[in-house]
């Protein structure tokens, strides 16, 4: 890893969202992205039922993508990334607290940001490290940097899981993008290692700070109808676009593909 840029290979990938459960469905979505509005929970059949029942809808999406992508591998560090985390569960707890109702210990323990990562580790009895990140609009980029840091420290592979869900109604007026329910995962290796069947699996990410004037323009141009960051990056990946430029959080993030 070098200052200002990283690169990596994607060995395998998986994604799940309501109504989007196959590779063909995701490719069709990427060709012309639309707002994902379906309902229903991911099956997460690979997880023991007792633990699966503890996960909420958003956690199940993340776990489904993680299981599919990892495909039985063990001892692989994981990086889970979600902008809002278990916001719906936390809101329910706060509502109960405001109304003087007793809090559910189970709900509390599963409201923390690393709940899905913890369930994944426990279910697989895998002692590999796991990290849970939340970094605003640039959460995906920071999660990739974290994963590349683990690769640079000697990990052979790292599992990245990006996911989010709908915000509770009480937060709708604060939405600054078109929130949707989705989850996807990449199994990452260093770019020099053997990657997938095509060179399109090798990704670069570089970044630079915006000037004061650029930051002001960026704030003015933020569009509440834009796709969440995770879906912007996923569409770039699935379409095999040569480049994606995102200007958020005071930085210009440049995604690209290596020849």
How far apart CA 229 and CA 235 sit, in angstroms, is 10
CA-nearest of 180, 205, 162, 197 to 15 is 162
At the top level of CATH, the class of 5-257 is alpha beta
Q: What is the residue whose two structure tokens read 């200002």? A: 4
CA dihedral 47, 50, 56, 61 (to 10 degrees): 10
Quickly count: other Cβ atoms within 10 Å of residue 177's Cβ. Answer: 18
Going residue by residue through the chain (259 aa), what tens digit of pLDDT does each one get? 445 789 999 999 999 999 999 999 999 999 999 999 888 889 999 999 988 988 888 899 999 999 999 998 999 999 999 988 777 777 777 777 788 888 777 776 677 768 888 889 999 998 899 999 988 889 999 999 999 999 999 999 999 999 998 777 776 677 776 788 999 999 999 986 554 444 447 899 999 988 766 555 555 455 555 888 999 999 999 999 999 999 988 889 999 998 6
Q: Where are the domains of the chain?
A: 5-257
DSSP result, 220-248: HH--TTSPPHHHHHHHHHHHT-SEEEEEE
pLDDT at 153: 95
Residues near 51 by beta carbon (within 8 Å), at least 6 away in sequence:
119, 122, 123
CA dihedral 140, 145, 151, 157 (to 10 degrees): 0
How far apart CA 144 and CA 158 sit, in angstroms, is 10
pLDDT at 259: 61
What's the whole-model pTM score?
0.85
CA angle 16, 22, 27 (to 5 degrees): 95
Residues near 46 by beta carbon (within 8 Å), at least 6 away in sequence:
67
CA-nearest of 258, 255, 251, 225 to 237 is 255
* Cβ atoms 192, 241 nearer than 8 A: no
Helix (H) or strand (E) holding 160: strand 158-164
pLDDT at 38: 80
């Amino acid at each position: 890893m070098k200052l200002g840029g990283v690169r990596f290979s994607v060995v395998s990938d998986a994604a799940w969202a309501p109504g989007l459960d196959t590779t063909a469905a995701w490719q069709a979505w990427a060709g012309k992205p639309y707002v994902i509005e379906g309902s229903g929970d991911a099956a997460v059949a690979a997880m023991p039922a007792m633990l699966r029942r503890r996960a909420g809808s958003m956690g199940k999406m993340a776990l489904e993508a993680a299981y599919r992508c990892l495909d039985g591998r063990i001892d692989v560090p994981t990086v889970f990334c979600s902008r809002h985390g278990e916001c719906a569960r936390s809101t329910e707890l706060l509502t109960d607290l405001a109304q003087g109702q007793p809090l559910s210990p189970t709900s509390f323990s599963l409201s923390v940001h690393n709940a899905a990562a913890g369930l994944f580790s426990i279910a697989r009895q895998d002692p590999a490290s796991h990290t849970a990140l939340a970094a605003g609009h640039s959460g995906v980029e920071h999660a990739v940097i974290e994963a590349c840091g683990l690769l640079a420290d000697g990990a052979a592979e790292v599992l990245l899981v990006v996911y989010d869900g709908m915000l509770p109604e009480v937060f709708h007026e604060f939405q600054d993008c078109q929130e949707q329910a989705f989850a996807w995962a990449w199994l990452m290796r260093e770019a020099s290692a053997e990657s997938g069947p095509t060179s399109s699996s090798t990704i670069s990410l570089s970044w630079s700070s915006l000037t004061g004037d650029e930051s002001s323009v960026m704030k003015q141009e933020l569009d509440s109808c834009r796709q969440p960051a995770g879906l912007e990056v996923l569409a770039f990946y699935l379409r095999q676009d040569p480049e994606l430029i995102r200007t958020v959080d005071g930085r210009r993030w440049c995604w690209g593909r290596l020849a």
